[in-house]
Chains A and B, each alone.
Chain A
């Protein structure tokens, strides 16, 4: 197989698509930013790509809740294509607004938690506990027992910024949370710098169980609120001038692209 072709989906209001493309490039992929309308008009076909990323931003201004309208559009206008793409096992990554859209469209955590006549949402991402947008750097710990193809073999924590007003992870109920945990679907959690449980500000939004990212049962769809694409090179580290480095978000993209190449 040649280079991994990554479709980075742009909706009106998407704004972290270019960084995401640079991250994919740095990880050895071949990214292309494609507007939703280009898919709708058949100018591009999702099936021709090896990996799909829904990047961060404010799709449709986050009117009616972050990611909600993007989710509605994807489900109603591109539902089958995306469903097929997911079922084919190809990797799908939703970052921040993309995560919100995947959750609200029901693709995360996905079956058996959502769909099949039941509610299309098992979890949600809602307004931060602080009631406002926040931008700060956080530590992410990967779950070693997760089926997630993006966090596989991730040995060191990722250090990267969050920038959102609606990133608070809330499950439908305790049973849902436990089911997600027992299947290893909580792929990434916020942790304190010493690796211990995160309190505010290390859990920046009041997410239940410090959840920062979840995947589907198959492990090929991951969504997370923080922005690994904003920590691709060492000089983006906030304390690089103090000689600190490490925790690059690049690892996540590299793992996804490596997995796509293996299919």
Chain B
């Protein structure tokens, strides 16, 4: 008989999680629930006396002050009857077998520590009791919309019967009859096994095995599919492309010339021609590693290097938002461990559908954007906080185009002493797996992410989604950093997409490797060899360790309770040999594995959709400004960001929130890690704007590069020491229009990077972000380019924040304002159409250099960049953060003649502009620094907290109390359930 334990709240104080659930019910529009009670469920199996169960309850499961427990021995419950029990509807939620249950794992360990040895297995669950005027359909709606995600969980109305052990179909190695297959069969095999390989690729594999006179094993075929997946090898970015540009703004080439459309050209790989080319041309000596390691690396000073990597976890987050985002964070942290660095900061940029989208407009199989947002944010919170890494920088954007396919960008910044990252495994070195055990989780993650989502993806590939266990990764981190400091390994990489197959295949690329799969520690028995090899179970690192260092590594692992296993060795034969209980189950030439992939040849066309510009009907600029401040993209993200620990490690000196009441939106953050014992700082920022991309991805790329650099320069980074990361999230690249837009964006990245002197050090693309609904309609996401920036602040004592500091100071604008409102927040909110998106500003770097000199001389009191919502929103944010007013005039605003209206002046989003607060005594010095550059004094800071703006002829345009600005800007508290 199993034991069922219920633990519930008994304090007279209201329970926090009940309140949080009530708030979510209100957002669902459900008012019938009068009362909610929540209980934690534990199901135990084993040989336990009543006294032992009591001990477990008292010591481990229930808090004696605020909780109570009850338990009983149960036989499996009869099928639950969907009817209320004692006037209460009961929903019980459990995890599918095989899903990580970290609490149950800990319970088993701790039971042993308190001397309860008979406990064999444990499972957790949650019980919800609802009282009120409810019918079954409503209760099911609550369960499905809020309580249970069937990708990882199941629910019952009434008591659930726990599922203890995962079903374990055991299996052997299979040979796939490839040699005799015709084209149709090749494609069928690719489809049925979720290989995501094209016909050309399948033929290349067929040819390889025909030469060898045998068929591939499942281990080999799966290895090839993972290694050749878009996710791992970036086929599209390496493809040859025939490109035709039919319109749009001209390219601003590095030599200052313009290239006007139309033209045709052959592109020899986007990555090589544009992204890496920019880095190579710039040749910055402070770039330590670009595009070759798990993360890009730059120098902080003579002794320390800083690394940065940004990944996406879009498809998993669409299916299981918590687990998808959770493991996205976990994965990018392992990338930083993979360059032997200590993770010191996380970044998260999230794109969701509108939070107030009517439920009935959703396609079947699509989770509501609010649920996706809630789950994603909770997933980031869980992993980042538990790892003890401050989540410091990010953005949240909303667009209908992200409804079925949200974007979750997870970034991680690392710090390491110079020269501490070895990367040369030697023949004879052991292949050591560290960390989590291997299960059937995450099979086919790499290939799954390389295909479009459909309404039934959740059902067909549910196993790709996992829940992370950050504490395992935390312990692995301690071991890796200690092993690094003692020089115990010769190479390291993370186990990400493709699992061991990718990690070992990549590490042994130059020398060869041999692996014995039966040595891999498993979560449960019954995995086939290819499943062990391909599993994407989380929290695993792979190290190359000389045999003489194994005992010391084992000691470190024992100290930190980390499991360590030797799974093979590096050989020197340049082959990948995979064994299972001694027998060879796969054998591939490293050369074929890594170079046998046939190159793709793709066609791309860019043709702008020309829409005549229709500005919004003239309105009251004050009303427009208030609406812009409340626009979810612009509004305060405090309700979200405060759920992230942004203080741990003690390094954040310019925080996500700044100003008089610690709630103003910082442009970038600055870290000063205490272990460097210096005042040099690391600035982190980002730029992203899909609304420009819908009109012209080339202009978008320039604009977001400018924004990412602006963000870090505004807080004090040296514009001549800024590195960039690119993350492209795009639709299906086999469609010429999608690829044409991608080419445009890559060209923009190249041209802008050269113009700003900012090299790319790392990048990643996530393609096939399209949703295929049951009617067969394809919807791509808006073309989305995230540029992340990493800048060096020469001395953090000179860093600057964006909040106004003192009445009487002057407010300057740097940069020229043009009539560029296409894709702007203003047009989106007020119903404008078409228009010109912000064009490249090739002179931006000069402005930034002058600004940086002013900052170094201590002449800048506050600095804020003008981005979404333009000059007006930037001024409003400076005022509300400083709790001070501004009196501004547009009469001297540097602008082009086409800026004809006050609204255009206030809300245009021209790139390259900053607002700067200056003391009156610094006026002359500042103007001298900016001589010859567009720069003007707009007005002054006032004690009276009112934002007043007058027009070119002194005509009043708006006057708004700063309190009203702030109130509108802080509205997002509503959807995130912030109020306590």
A and B together in one complex: yes
A16 touches B388 (CB 8 A): yes
Partner of A133, one of B19, B60, B470, B645: B645
Q: For residue B388, which residues in chain A have a CB less than 8 angstroms away from its CB?
A: 15-16, 57-58
B385 touches A64 (CB 8 A): no
The answer to the question of A91 belonging to the interface, with a C-beta cut-off of 8 Å to chain B, is: no
The answer to the question of B446 belonging to the interface, with a C-beta cut-off of 8 Å to chain A, is: no
Q: For residue B103, which residues in chain A have a CB less than 8 angstroms away from its CB?
A: 61, 63-64
A128 to B19, CA, bound (A): 11
Q: Which of A46-54, A119-127, A182-190, A254-262 contacts B (4 or more CB under 8 A)?
A: A119-127
Partner of A12, one of B387, B475, B647, B649: B475
CB distance from B806 to the nearest CB of A (A): 9
A72 touches B110 (CB 8 A): yes
Q: Which of B149-157, B553-561, B697-705 contacts A (4 or more CB under 8 A)?
A: B553-561
A172 to B805, CA, bound (A): 47
A134 touches B660 (CB 8 A): no
The answer to the question of A81 belonging to the interface, with a C-beta cut-off of 8 Å to chain B, is: no
A68 touches B471 (CB 8 A): no
Question: Which residue of chain A is the closest to B59 with respect to CB atoms?
Answer: A72
A241 to B642, CA, bound (A): 21
B residues 629-662 near A (Cβ < 8 Å) are: 642-650, 652-655, 657-660, 662
Mask of B98-138 contacts with A, CB within 8 angstroms, 1/0: 00001101110010011100000000000000000000000
A240 touches B65 (CB 8 A): no
CB distance from B968 to the nearest CB of A (A): 20
Highest count of chain A CB atoms <10 Å: which of B16, B644, B978: B16
A residues 186-228 near B (Cβ < 8 Å) are: 200-201, 206, 208, 227
A126 to B115, CA, bound (A): 26
Q: For residue B647, which residues in chain A have a CB less than 8 angstroms away from its CB?
A: 135, 161, 163, 227, 230
Sample 26 A-B pairs with CB under 8 A, ordered by A number. A12-B475, A13-B475, A15-B474, A16-B388, A35-B559, A37-B560, A60-B471, A61-B471, A63-B103, A64-B60, A64-B103, A65-B63, A72-B110, A121-B64, A121-B65, A131-B16, A131-B18, A131-B20, A132-B20, A133-B643, A163-B645, A208-B13, A229-B650, A235-B653, A239-B660, A241-B800
Q: For residue B796, which residues in chain A have a CB less than 8 angstroms away from its CB?
A: 235
Question: Which residue of chain B is the closest to A231 with respect to CB atoms?
Answer: B650
Q: For residue B979, which residues in chain A have a CB less than 8 angstroms away from its CB?
A: 130
A60 touches B113 (CB 8 A): no
The answer to the question of A4 belonging to the interface, with a C-beta cut-off of 8 Å to chain B, is: no
A136 to B655, CA, bound (A): 11
A residues 227-260 near B (Cβ < 8 Å) are: 227, 229-230, 232, 235-236, 238-243
Mask of B364-387 contacts with A, CB within 8 angstroms, 1/0: 000000000000000001000111
CB distance from B349 to the nearest CB of A (A): 19
A16 touches B560 (CB 8 A): no
Number of A-B contacts (CB under 8 A): 190
B655 touches A206 (CB 8 A): no
B residues 887-945 near A (Cβ < 8 Å) are: none
B653 touches A240 (CB 8 A): yes
B15 touches A238 (CB 8 A): no
CB distance from B945 to the nearest CB of A (A): 16
A238 to B660, CA, bound (A): 9
A61 touches B648 (CB 8 A): no
CB distance from A74 to the nearest CB of B (A): 10
A126 to B17, CA, bound (A): 11
Question: Which residue of chain A is the closest to B62 with respect to CB atoms?
Answer: A65
Partner of A236, one of B16, B17, B387, B650: B650
A172 touches B65 (CB 8 A): yes
Known contacts A235-B653, A240-B653, then 12 further A-B pairs from the complex at CB < 8 Å, ordered by chain A residue: A58-B474, A72-B113, A119-B64, A126-B65, A127-B15, A130-B980, A132-B16, A206-B980, A230-B648, A235-B797, A236-B650, A238-B658
The answer to the question of B245 belonging to the interface, with a C-beta cut-off of 8 Å to chain A, is: no
- For the side of the interface on A, what is the size category? 35 or more
Q: For residue A171, which residues in chain B have a CB less than 8 angstroms away from its CB?
A: 65
A61 touches B102 (CB 8 A): yes
The answer to the question of A77 belonging to the interface, with a C-beta cut-off of 8 Å to chain B, is: yes
A172 to B387, CA, bound (A): 32
Highest count of chain A CB atoms <10 Å: which of B20, B648, B649: B648
The answer to the question of B165 belonging to the interface, with a C-beta cut-off of 8 Å to chain A, is: no
CB distance from A159 to the nearest CB of B (A): 11
The answer to the question of B803 belonging to the interface, with a C-beta cut-off of 8 Å to chain A, is: yes
Mask of B229-265 contacts with A, CB within 8 angstroms, 1/0: 0000000000000000000000000000000000000
B106 touches A61 (CB 8 A): yes
Q: For residue B106, which residues in chain A have a CB less than 8 angstroms away from its CB?
A: 60-61, 63-64, 69
The answer to the question of B612 belonging to the interface, with a C-beta cut-off of 8 Å to chain A, is: no
Question: Which residue of chain A is the closest to B979 with respect to CB atoms?
Answer: A130
CB distance from A121 to the nearest CB of B (A): 5
The answer to the question of A82 belonging to the interface, with a C-beta cut-off of 8 Å to chain B, is: no
A73 to B113, CA, bound (A): 7
Highest count of chain B CB atoms <10 Å: which of A73, A120, A127: A127
Question: Which residue of chain A is the closest to B385 with respect to CB atoms?
Answer: A133
CB distance from A58 to the nearest CB of B (A): 4
The answer to the question of B799 belonging to the interface, with a C-beta cut-off of 8 Å to chain A, is: yes
Mask of A93-104 contacts with B, CB within 8 angstroms, 1/0: 000000000001
How many residues of chain B are within 8 Å of chain A by beta carbon? 71
The answer to the question of A145 belonging to the interface, with a C-beta cut-off of 8 Å to chain B, is: no
The answer to the question of B713 belonging to the interface, with a C-beta cut-off of 8 Å to chain A, is: no
Question: Which residue of chain B is the closest to A70 with respect to CB atoms?
Answer: B110
Tell me whether A35 and B560 are in contact in the complex, defined as CB-CB below 8 angstroms, given that A64-B61, A76-B115 are known contacts.
Answer: yes
Q: For residue B711, which residues in chain A have a CB less than 8 angstroms away from its CB?
A: none
The answer to the question of B672 belonging to the interface, with a C-beta cut-off of 8 Å to chain A, is: yes
CB distance from B974 to the nearest CB of A (A): 14
Tell me whether A38 and B559 are in contact in the complex, defined as CB-CB below 8 angstroms, given that A12-B474, A121-B65 are known contacts.
Answer: yes
A residues 118-154 near B (Cβ < 8 Å) are: 119-124, 126-137
Q: For residue B115, which residues in chain A have a CB less than 8 angstroms away from its CB?
A: 76
Please give me the 8 A-B residue pairs with the lowest Cβ-Cβ distance, nearest first. Answer: A15-B388, A131-B16, A131-B20, A130-B980, A124-B65, A63-B106, A61-B471, A161-B647
The answer to the question of B14 belonging to the interface, with a C-beta cut-off of 8 Å to chain A, is: yes
Q: For residue B805, which residues in chain A have a CB less than 8 angstroms away from its CB?
A: 242-243
Q: For residue B648, which residues in chain A have a CB less than 8 angstroms away from its CB?
A: 15-16, 19, 56, 163, 230
A135 to B657, CA, bound (A): 11
The answer to the question of B281 belonging to the interface, with a C-beta cut-off of 8 Å to chain A, is: no
A61 touches B674 (CB 8 A): no
Partner of B64, one of A73, A124, A129, A135: A124
The answer to the question of B81 belonging to the interface, with a C-beta cut-off of 8 Å to chain A, is: no
A113 to B647, CA, bound (A): 34
The answer to the question of A86 belonging to the interface, with a C-beta cut-off of 8 Å to chain B, is: no
Q: For residue A62, which residues in chain B have a CB less than 8 angstroms away from its CB?
A: 386
The answer to the question of B223 belonging to the interface, with a C-beta cut-off of 8 Å to chain A, is: no
Q: For residue B59, which residues in chain A have a CB less than 8 angstroms away from its CB?
A: 72
Question: Which residue of chain B is the closest to A65 with respect to CB atoms?
Answer: B63
Partner of B386, one of A13, A200, A235, A243: A13
CB distance from B12 to the nearest CB of A (A): 10
Question: Which residue of chain A is the closest to B40 with respect to CB atoms?
Answer: A64
B residues 473-504 near A (Cβ < 8 Å) are: 474-475
A170 touches B20 (CB 8 A): no
A132 to B382, CA, bound (A): 11
The answer to the question of B362 belonging to the interface, with a C-beta cut-off of 8 Å to chain A, is: no
B107 touches A242 (CB 8 A): no
A130 touches B11 (CB 8 A): no
A127 touches B797 (CB 8 A): no
The answer to the question of B469 belonging to the interface, with a C-beta cut-off of 8 Å to chain A, is: yes
The answer to the question of B735 belonging to the interface, with a C-beta cut-off of 8 Å to chain A, is: no
Q: For residue B560, which residues in chain A have a CB less than 8 angstroms away from its CB?
A: 12, 35, 37
Q: For residue A235, which residues in chain B have a CB less than 8 angstroms away from its CB?
A: 653, 672, 796-797
Question: Which residue of chain B is the closest to A241 with respect to CB atoms?
Answer: B801
Q: For residue A77, which residues in chain B have a CB less than 8 angstroms away from its CB?
A: 113
The answer to the question of B66 belonging to the interface, with a C-beta cut-off of 8 Å to chain A, is: yes
Q: For residue A170, which residues in chain B have a CB less than 8 angstroms away from its CB?
A: 11, 13, 65-66
CB distance from A73 to the nearest CB of B (A): 6
B642 touches A135 (CB 8 A): yes
CB distance from A16 to the nearest CB of B (A): 6
A163 touches B800 (CB 8 A): no
